[in-house]
Amino acid sequence: MRTVLCDTLGIEHPIVGFTPSEHVAAAISRAGGLGVLGCVRFNDPEELDAVLDWMDTNCDGKPYGVDIVMPAKVPTEGTQIDLDSLIPQAHREFVDNTLRKLGVPPLPDDEASGAGVLGWLHSVARSHVDVAMKHPIALIANALGSPPADVIAQAHRGGVPVAALAGKAEHAVRHVDNGVDLVVAQGYEAGGHTGEIASMVLIPEIVAAVGDRVPVLAAGGIGSGRQIAAALALGAVGAWMGSYWLATKEYQELSSAGTLQQALVRATSSDTVRSRVYTGKPARLLKNQWTQAWAAVDAPAPLPMPLQNLLVSEAHQRMMRAGDPSVLAMPVGQIVGSMNEIRAVADVMTELVDDLEAALTRLDELRGL
Amino acid sequence: MRTVLCDTLGIEHPIVGFTPSEHVAAAISRAGGLGVLGCVRFNDPEELDAVLDWMDTNCDGKPYGVDIVMPAKVPTEGTQIDLDSLIPQAHREFVDNTLRKLGVPPLPDDEASGAGVLGWLHSVARSHVDVAMKHPIALIANALGSPPADVIAQAHRGGVPVAALAGKAEHAVRHVDNGVDLVVAQGYEAGGHTGEIASMVLIPEIVAAVGDRVPVLAAGGIGSGRQIAAALALGAVGAWMGSYWLATKEYQELSSAGTLQQALVRATSSDTVRSRVYTGKPARLLKNQWTQAWAAVDAPAPLPMPLQNLLVSEAHQRMMRAGDPSVLAMPVGQIVGSMNEIRAVADVMTELVDDLEAALTRLDELRGL
């Protein structure tokens, strides 16, 4: 199955895979999709540069892309110390008390507290673009909509198309008006930052709004070939998948993946929640004791981006370190209910492609073909 | 396009249309789908009997079905006066004050306050089944899951298959274990009572869980042939549509449809909310000043079913009577964003069937067929 997306991106299958792991991203690209590496975790541009060097030698010459997180509105800039002073003491106490109640130990003495995610500051996201443009990337995607005009222009000067995620048709129109080349229609089902309109409604709405101007990818809830077939039936030209790659062997190269994968494999499609506790903006997360604590009536309201993630950053680190699969902070979509075993990326890709063909064959049979 | 659903129900197109209007239901059946009449509004079984007599002479001999609302747990029974005593005074005052703030006038002196919906009391729902079984119905659907075993047995003795709506795969398995013949997989997008798992994830989960035992219909967010094609790609054998028929000419036979249709035509897919204010159970409604008032921090929590609907019943009547499209209580799904004109049911059906064929042809073209 080839679509215009395959020609636009130079890939074999109409499947784009977003992942924070370079090992997963490279494996997706090697398997004929487009691996898209999430950059938001790289506070240090040099670290991203080194990882992209690794990508350049580990994708077997196949294309890959990068994903940045630039909010449409520029959030408060400043050093981390400036931002820290904006976090209310009561919020810090709530986090401390919650971790104590949940039995999450402090970090070991020899482990420094991470700096928290700064990748959604414009200055840091811009550094990601600057670094990525020095590499042979095939796509820059922005998780929070259109990047600024000069960033789009910078990408286009280098011949790199720009994708933007959209949770409403009006946002998709704005992105295309701003010069974005591909729109990712991301439904309510999706993990991470997501809107309220579900894929069945959102995808055809966005295709109707911008599908004659740019290719539209479908995101949110996709983890099988029959779902890719459904996305194509709705007018998309390919699928953008994120959560599903978390249950792969290649993801285990990231430390603490073991605890996380235990939690993912046991979760059902009912075990996620859309909440502001991870970043300050609504994002779908694994539902567990941590998210439930924030949903209690006496819990404080989450802080705006980027303060909320700075507030909970060390807590995330402590929970991941503690190794309890029932207490974790993890963005994941409703497709988690189908993530029931850990497989190699290449095997996942083969199954997706085979299941897509099988779904289309079933449709033929229904038509008596 | 024929599927096993067409054979099971004796219909031409794999499209089941749920509606509270007998005029719409009959038109759906005449157009080759299965019209399913919602019974919950009939507090008086004799009134339902008369309406089904009308259906028997207005479906051109084509099959039709009925929809009842039997909660899995039997709610408090009693006369309306008994139930009224369970409604807190503070709730009544909140409703009165809200209507005053929103400028909704009282009922005219010559219009009696309706009794409120009692159709979800088991005794009333059972009367619906008893009445319906005297008519040549092709389906009994239960909006809230499996009916009791004796109701299923009663239907089966009369040769009538039973359908049950399910918002989780585990519920679908329970329904089929209880003897249900068709499962309607209803996603988060849907209007009325609905769960949290969106169609893209829910439909294949339910097909995987029970699709080898019973036909699975897809519900939630469907208003076009490409969405029916997507549902079929996900493994369903047909579509269950509800909201979309509210924007039809035949629906105008119900009084006050004009104000409602104005509100529906102007609403976007962002203008719904999942809330307990209509019945006490989570249901997707048109988002407007009424639902926003209940979402305010100082608003009381909605009462459990059936008390909440008794509390708001006269308010619903007053709002509908007032004729302000920005203040209405109306269940509708996210597909409302695509309900942009009022058409005849037969025209809607023709467009659905043509668009389904077009979507399948597009898939053929993608495959180079």
Q: Give the model confidence (pLDDT) of A13-23 as tens digits.
A: 999 999 999 99
Nearest CA in chain B to A5: B366
Pull the structure tokens for residue A269. 């499609």
Q: Is the dihedral angle over the CA atoms B289, B290, B293, B295 positive or is it negative?
A: negative
Outline where DSSP puts E strands in chain B: 15-19, 34-38, 64-68, 139-142, 162-166, 182-186, 192-193, 216-219, 238-241, 272-275, 283-286
Chain B, residues 151-180, CB within 8 A of chain A, namely 168-169
Q: If you compute the radius of gyration of chain A from its CA atoms, what whole number of angstroms results?
A: 20
For residue B151, how many other CB atoms are within 10 A of its CB? Answer: 22
DSSP B236: -
What does the alpha-carbon distance between residue A318 and residue A315 come to, in Å, rounded to a whole number?
5
Question: Given A200, A335, A337, which is nearest B220 (Cβ)?
Answer: A200
Q: Which residues of B touch A221 (CB under 8 A)?
A: 198, 200-201
Q: For residue A306, say if its preceding peptide bond is cis, omega within 30 degrees of 0.
A: yes
Q: What pLDDT shows up at residue A368?
A: 83
Q: Which residue has the higher pLDDT, B48 or A120?
A: B48
Question: Given A205, A230, A338, which is nearest B233 (Cβ)?
Answer: A230
The whole-number average pLDDT for the span A188-213 is 97
Pairwise CB contact (< 8 Å): A201 & B221: yes
DSSP B334: G
Q: Which residues of B touch A168 (CB under 8 A)?
A: 269-270
Q: Which residue has the higher pLDDT, B274 or A84?
A: B274
Statement: residue A269 has pLDDT above 60: yes
Residue-wise pLDDT tens digits, B301-315 = 999 988 898 899 999
Pairwise CB contact (< 8 Å): A229 & B363: yes
Q: What pLDDT shows up at residue B43?
A: 84
Statement: residue B289 has pLDDT above 90: yes
Q: What pLDDT shows up at residue A274?
A: 97
B119 in Cβ contact with B41 (< 8 Å): yes
Q: Is B356 on the interface with A (CB under 8 A)?
A: no
Q: Is A221 on the interface with B (CB under 8 A)?
A: yes
Q: Where are the domains of chain A?
A: 4-75+120-247+345-366, 80-116+255-322
Highest mean pLDDT: which range of A115-124, A140-149, B266-275: B266-275
Interface predicted TM-score (ipTM): 0.95
Tell me phi and psi for residue B295, to 5 degrees.
-90, -5
Residue-wise pLDDT tens digits, B96-140 = 999 999 999 998 888 877 766 666 667 888 899 999 999 999 999
With a pLDDT cut of 90, the percent of chain A lying above it is 80
The whole-number average pLDDT for the span A327-347 is 97
Q: What pLDDT shows up at residue A133?
A: 97
Nearest CA in chain A to B238: A366
**Chain B: nearest CA to A73, how far in angstroms?**
21
Confidence of residue A305 (pLDDT cuts 50, 70, 90): confident
Pairwise CB contact (< 8 Å): A2 & B359: no
Pairwise CB contact (< 8 Å): A337 & B187: no
Question: Given B201, B221, B270, which is nearest A221 (Cβ)?
Answer: B201
B328 in Cβ contact with A331 (< 8 Å): no
CATH 3.30.465.10 for domain B4-75+120-246+345-366, yes or no, is no
In whole numbers, what is the pLDDT of chain B averaged over residues? 93
Q: What pLDDT shows up at residue B173?
A: 98
Pairwise CB contact (< 8 Å): A200 & B337: no
**Chain B: nearest CA to A200, how far in angstroms?**
6
Question: Given A205, A227, A269, which is nearest B234 (Cβ)?
Answer: A227
Q: CB-based contacts of A171: which residues, under 8 Å, 6+ apart?
A: A145
What does the alpha-carbon distance between residue B241 and residue B218 come to, in Å, rounded to a whole number?
8
CATH C-level class of A4-75+120-247+345-366? alpha beta
Confidence of residue B283 (pLDDT cuts 50, 70, 90): very high
Pairwise CB contact (< 8 Å): B199 & A197: no
Q: Which of B80-89, B159-168, B193-202, B336-345 has the lowest mean pLDDT?
A: B80-89
Statement: residue B73 has pLDDT above 90: no
Pairwise CB contact (< 8 Å): B198 & A199: yes
Q: Is B220 on the interface with A (CB under 8 A)?
A: yes
Q: Which residues of A touch B200 (CB under 8 A)?
A: 187, 189, 198-200, 220-222, 227, 230
B159 in Cβ contact with B133 (< 8 Å): no
DSSP A106: P
Q: Which residues of B touch A360 (CB under 8 A)?
A: 233, 363, 367
Please list, residue by residue across A273-284, b when 16 or more beta carbons sit within 10 angstroms of its beta carbon and e when fewer do: bbbbbbbbbbbb
Q: CB-based contacts of A23: which residues, under 8 Å, 6+ apart?
A: A250, A251, A253, A254
Local structure of A15: helix, strand or coil:
strand
In whole numbers, what is the pLDDT of chain A averaged over residues? 93
Residue-wise pLDDT tens digits, A238-266 = 999 999 999 999 999 887 789 999 999 99
Q: What pLDDT shows up at residue B72?
A: 61
Residue B145 φ/ψ region, left for φ over 0, alpha for ψ in the -120 to 50 degree band, beta for the rest: left
**Chain A: nearest CA to B340, how far in angstroms?**
13
Burial of A75 (0-12, 13-18, 19+ CB in 10 A): middle
Q: Is A202 on the interface with B (CB under 8 A)?
A: yes
Residue A78 φ/ψ region, left for φ over 0, alpha for ψ in the -120 to 50 degree band, beta for the rest: left
Q: What pLDDT shows up at residue A110?
A: 81
Q: Tell which of B201, B234, B269 to mutate to test the A interface (max A CBs under 10 Å).
A: B201
